[in-house]
Structure 1
Amino acid sequence: MFQDALFVPDRNFRAKAAALPVAALVHAVVLTLLVTIPLLRVGDLPEIDLTDVIVVPAPPRPPLPPPKARAGNPGGHIRAKRAVAASADPWRFTPVVIPDGIVEEGFGVEGVEGGIEGGLDYGADGGFPRNFIGNMLYTIIGEPAEPVVRAAGDIRAPRLVRKVEPDYPEIARQARVEGVVILEATTDVYGRVTGVRVLRSLPFLDEAAIEAVRQWVYEPMVINGRPRPVTFTVTVRFVLKNSEERAGDR
């Protein structure tokens, strides 16, 4: 009977043990709400008292006392010295006496040390011909464009001073095309090529020849002391030799 009393299960203990987690959870939720609700509440902002501020200017300084009279000046007055600013430019000041007329300033031409008084009418030996530069500038700026002169007979083609080698097109190299392209070029008074047209064509090579000649620069053509545009013939030769491309002009 004593053993049976020791091992009798307590139903109330089991019920209390099962309700313990639920009670702990409820207490945790209540504590969380008690902490977070005051934080989430938006409080009213405190009122701020505004005070009008009036800015009053400072009172003026009292006048300075008069200076003490010196022994040589019994009246006590001090004469102020007039400071006149010295200027190196006299034209900034209005003259006291108005002149009767205006004197024109002369623009003297200073000569060169060792020169001849009065100069030379036709320049010196070894210089340009008379009015060469003047005629050139007048031709370029003042007069209408001069007609184009064709290089023929006594008029020779201008001298080439800058040459750009033409490129050998890949299609012409593969087709083994070689030969001569004859062009007609026109230069302006400065020696620059302004126009190119084909006189004798060669398949696949015309554009390469034209593109190269457009970049060439010639010596200006001067006829009777005046620069003139000139038209002349240009020969561009394309040669294939030992699987190597070579292009040139004649």
Structure 2
Amino acid sequence: MLKVTFSAACRFVILIAFCCSAMVCFSQEPSHSISGADADKLLVTRVEPAYPVSVKDANVAGNVIIHFNIQKDGSTGQVQAFYADTGTRKFAMIDHPEVHQAVLDAIKQWKYRPYLVDGKPAEAATMAILRFDFCKQDSSCQSEPAEFKVTVVPAPRTPVSGEILLNEKQVEGKLVKQVQPRYPHMAKIAHVSGDVVLHILIDKQGHVAQVQAKSGHPLLIQAAVDAVKQWEYQPFMIGGQVVQVGADVTVRFHM
């Protein structure tokens, strides 16, 4: 009886160890990444996404950025519709599930020649930008959509009661803890760099209580927000009283 119990326990421990190991391996990013232009040189089969009728009827056009891995056999894996930006008649941005699904279905059918490292196939992360343009697919369309732009459309901000507005230089001198942002992997692949401007509210304890994006590339904004939320300042005093202040701050991303 004891022998059977011990054997079952051993099998359970081995199973748990195997599952944990598999999860770690699956979650790891490929050790190699290549630009979209370099990936295009390896592309053998490309399937274009179907334009969803409901999206086309709404006169929505734009770009969808896709992040995926080229597997060792040239197939695609871990495909993710990352972000869509547009210039359109009706909308400043696209974030439409039907568009994303159409793109995912198409990318999964793409086929590449294996990416070689030292003569051996290797898995590599890359990206692609697909354009949805209803004018190109409808000859009755008489005018072109607006020029494509990367746009941030912040929600209207309600000033916080008692908030004192300062400029960036005024709060910079009180900064005691500055966490540098982690450069997003997707932004590196896309060779995206630039500044992100955020409006922050600093509470009476010197902590960043609120953060709102004002401008910047969408691939960089979240990394900037995550870093700035960890910044700390000396408490601000005006007229002998500790106050909460608001200011714009700039986070720079340069490769």
TM (norm. structure 2) is 0.35
- Between structures 1 and 2, the one with greater strand share: 2
**Which fold has the larger relative contact order, with Cα–Cα distance below 8 Å and residues 6 or more apart in sequence?**
2
Structure number with greater Rg is 1
TM (norm. structure 1) is 0.36
